[in-house]
Amino acid sequence: MALFNLFLAALKKELRLMRSYGFNTVMELGTLVLFFALLYFGVRVFSGPASRLHDSTTVLILGYWLWMGFLTGFGQFTWRITTYAEQGLLEQLFMTPWQLQRILAVEAGAAFVINTAFNVVMLLVFMAITGRWLPLDPLTTLLIYTLTLVPGYGIGYALAGLAMRFKNVQSMFNIVQFLVVVLQALPVNTHPWLNVFPFARGMQMLLNHARAGVLWWQFPLWEWGVLLGQAMLYLGLGLWVYHRLENQARERGLLAHY
């Protein structure tokens, strides 16, 4: 019950921050839509035949949508640790009955609920811009979307630890957000060993769902196993890195410094 109350408090906090800084929220969403529109019309110019454009549009919509979901996931932790350090809240959070790691996890869960709702709306906006309405089943899409993004939260924990230890990791943040685009495009169907990397398998499953109408129970069990394995692996690694860097920051007395 206490954990649920903490989740509700985090949910209210996220909504109030979005409302208090409404102009910034609208500008962020507007920037994402504008960037997508520029990509789409760029692809439209250089793609050639209409048949090729049809498939390229599907890839663009789903790839951009996953990338946007990843940014709101892994960036959440890094942004919060940096903000808490700037505001001098880290030491206060460590003195609460809740561990900072648990607070971050609950806040990430609340942010995921809100971001997913916004991302669904954004997906509809992307389809409206392109005129390509994908026949997506809500349950299948949500399952693949969620499991594909879990490794992003593991990467987020690792970056949060780096932010706690080194304070400013914006350059690493910039590298990772564009590395995800490469990971999404890995040819995991022709080179199965590439399934050790996250995001590409989930992207392929979303494409198979959109193109051929494959529903969640029609996917082979091994594909779900790959998604689940990636989620556990990268989330576990991220938590391990976070714990190591958090302990270093505490031992060196870095929590109160920015």
Q: What pLDDT score does 86 carry? A: 66
Q: What gap in Å lies between CA 257 and CA 202, rounded to an integer?
A: 39
Give the long-range contacts of residues 35-44, CB within 8 A, separation 24 or more: 36/60, 36/64, 36/126, 36/129, 37/129, 39/64, 40/126, 40/129, 40/130
Q: What pLDDT score does 24 carry? A: 84
Q: What gap in Å lies between CA 139 and CA 70, rounded to an integer?
A: 19
The answer to pTM > 0.85 is: yes
Question: What are the mean pLDDT values of the chain's consecutive 10-residue runs (258 residues total)?
Answer: 84 87 86 92 70 75 92 72 72 76 83 89 94 93 95 87 80 84 91 93 95 94 96 94 88 70
Are 78 and 156 contacting, i.e. CB atoms less than 8 angstroms apart?
yes
Q: What gap in Å lies between CA 254 and CA 256, rounded to an integer?
A: 6
